[in-house]
Amino acid sequence: MTLTYVYADQTAVVGPLATYAEPHAYDLCDVHSERLSAPRGWEVMRLAVDPAAHGPSNDDLLALADAVREAARPVPVDRTPPAEETGREIGRKGHLRMLTSDH
């Protein structure tokens, strides 16, 4: 749950977990959201959680499927032959080579 204070109305609002960060909003676990009390003179407003809102939406699932398809798409292989080297190899580190220029 997310706790938000409305200072002008002296109200603490506890509602469904926010989907974006706000400066005066605080995320709470279930235990603390149920035990929350407000300062004397303040009202605690508890918003009901929509049970259908739990879990990913259809849009979330479609976006995830699209991302998986994109990641699984084969990368095209460049079949052009490498350009002729113009330098002489003077060292190696792993798969990298150091070449000198013949110029």
What are 12-29's pLDDT values in tens digits?
999 988 887 888 889 999
Q: For position 41, what pLDDT does the model report?
A: 92
pTM across the whole model: 0.47
Q: For position 91, what pLDDT does the model report?
A: 80
Q: For position 81, what pLDDT does the model report?
A: 64
40 vs 92 pLDDT, higher one: 40
The secondary structure of the chain, three-state, reads CEEEEEHHHCEEEEECCCCCCCCCEEECCHHHHHHCCCCCCCEEEECCCCHHHCCCCHHHHHHHHHHHHHHHCCCCCCCCCCCCCCEEEEEEECCEEEEEECC
Q: For position 13, what pLDDT does the model report?
A: 92
pLDDT digits (tens, 9 = 90+) for 25-81: 899 998 998 898 888 999 999 988 766 666 677 888 888 888 888 888 887 777 766
Q: For position 92, what pLDDT does the model report?
A: 81
